[in-house]
Chains A and B, each alone.
Chain A
Amino acid sequence: MMAFRIQIFAVLGSLAIAAVIFELIRKRKVLEKYSLLWFASAIILIVLSVWRDLLEKVAAVLGVYYAPSALFIIAAFCAMVMFLHLTVVISQLTEQNKTLVQEVGLLRDMVQQLEKKNKNE
């Protein structure tokens, strides 16, 4: 009975995550390309929560005796992948931001030079 209950919570939790992400995309607060990993994680967790036999097999492969705790390991792994992805995205943004700041500085200088030149004419 215990196992049945955790299954229900796991399914409900995963569905809730998927619903929240879907809503955030709908409101344009999250870009589709950054939501893919979330959906992938939610789907993996839903499948494993519903399909008890598969979870038992995965748990056996991982060497986990109590199958539902394998869910935690998998969920933690999904979270790690997402953190990693976010770090990559932040690094890209930092690099792009640097390039933009440099370009803005150089362009501002160019505008000033042109203004000076126009005044002189």
Chain B
Amino acid sequence: MTCKRRNTSFCMTDIEGCEGRLNPQSKILVIIPAYNEAENIGSVVDEIKSTALPLDILVIDDGSLDRTTEVAQAHGARVVRLPINLGIGGAVQTGFKFARDNGYEVAIQIDGDGQHIPSELPILLDVLNRNEADLCIGSRYIGERHYRTPFARRLGMIVFTAVNSLLIGQRVTDNTSGFRAYNRRAIEFLSRYYPTDYPEPEVVVILGRTGFRIQERAVKMRPRHSGESSIGTWGAIYYMIKVLLAITVDVFKVYRQVGAQA
């Protein structure tokens, strides 16, 4: 296996007999960003394992103050613990870098609070396996709706769908979904460019505008087990304005395609 790591002098795969991947057969990495999720993370990891898919589980502990790392490790996940809280964007990007450095073909992002249903993973994987997309988003808004959304969020969805459709010429119903599967090409791109604060809608625009293929599939979503959602009502309004500004600026940014650099 060749080392894909750039800008550093070594990587896991350079060390004799030290395979970066936990399971050499698995080419799929599940990235779970987690901040103070000690209560939920154990069951999330267990549930993903119970799917018996050939995948490795990587929890990114984003500088949690509780025992997130210990709990995740006890349940058998590999954990990258960030010494400082970077926010969801920095955490997820750490997972992409890990996937890039260790030769994974597919990276799946799933929330650490148990809202997403791991048994639906094959729905997303299937799309990538058949090479129909570089990014497959699990959407709550396709088909039957099992999920009731607060008004502020609902408004956000409508706005994002309208703006993003305009910018990428494709209708994406659930831009804020944190349940996604990315292929190798997207992994390498996002290891270099990943938005910071509330990255999901921005990623859709960036990938959509740089020629990546995006697909959506219907998934269900549960209410949270415990803990608070990262966004309240005022938070949702701030979130929307901030992301809209970021998306607008993204349109004018320059992204060098992977492989184009020296």
Do B84 and A101 touch across chains, with their CB atoms under 8 A apart? yes
Among B15, B60, B97, B101, the residue within 8 A (CB) of A114 is B15
A105 to B86, CA, bound (A): 11
- The answer to whether B90 and A98 have CB atoms under 8 Å apart is yes
A-B contact count (CB 8 A): 44
Q: Is B79 an interface residue (CB 8 A)?
A: yes
CB-based contact A104/B82 at 8 Å: yes
In the bound assembly, the distance between CA atoms of A110 and B81 in angstroms comes to: 11
**4 shortest A-B CB distances, which residue pairs?**
A105-B82, A102-B94, A105-B80, A109-B80
Note all chain A residues with C-beta closer than 8 A to B82.
Answer: 101-102, 104-105
- Report whether over half of chain B's contact residues are helix, strand or loop; otherwise say mixed: mixed
Least CB distance from A4 to B in Å reads: 49
Please determine whether B60 and A105 come into contact, CB atoms closer than 8 angstroms. yes
Determine which of B12, B15, B83, B196 lies in contact with A105 in the assembled complex, contact meaning CB atoms within 8 Å. B83
Beta-carbon contact of B81 and A106 below 8 Å? no
Tier of interface size on chain B: 20 to 34
Interface size of A in residues (CB-CB distance below 8 Å):
14
Give 27 pairs: A residue, B residue, CB < 8 Å, sorted on A. A97-B84, A98-B86, A98-B196, A101-B82, A101-B84, A101-B86, A102-B86, A102-B90, A102-B93, A102-B94, A103-B8, A104-B82, A105-B60, A105-B80, A105-B81, A105-B82, A105-B83, A106-B80, A106-B94, A106-B97, A106-B101, A108-B81, A109-B80, A109-B98, A110-B12, A113-B18, A117-B17
Nearest A residue to B90, CB-CB: A98
Chain A contact residues: over half helix, strand or loop, or mixed?
Answer: helix
* Residues of chain A with a CB closer than 8 A to B12's CB: 110, 113
Distance of A21 from chain B, by nearest CB (Å): 31
B18 touches A102 (CB 8 A): no
Which residues of chain A (43-85) have a CB below 8 Å from chain B? none
Contact flags (1/0) for B1-44 with A, using CB distance below 8 Å? 00000001000100101100000000000000000000000000
Knowing A98-B90, A113-B12, A114-B18 are in contact, say whether A104-B101 is a contact too (CB < 8 A): no
Within 8 A of B (CB), among A89-112: 97-98, 101-106, 108-110
A-side contacts of B97, CB under 8 Å: 102, 106
Q: Looking across the interface, which residue of chain B has its beta carbon closest to that of A95?
A: B196
User: Which residue of the partner chain B has the closest CB to A110?
Assistant: B12
CB distance from A63 to the nearest CB of B (A): 34
B171 beta carbon closer than 8 Å to chain A: no
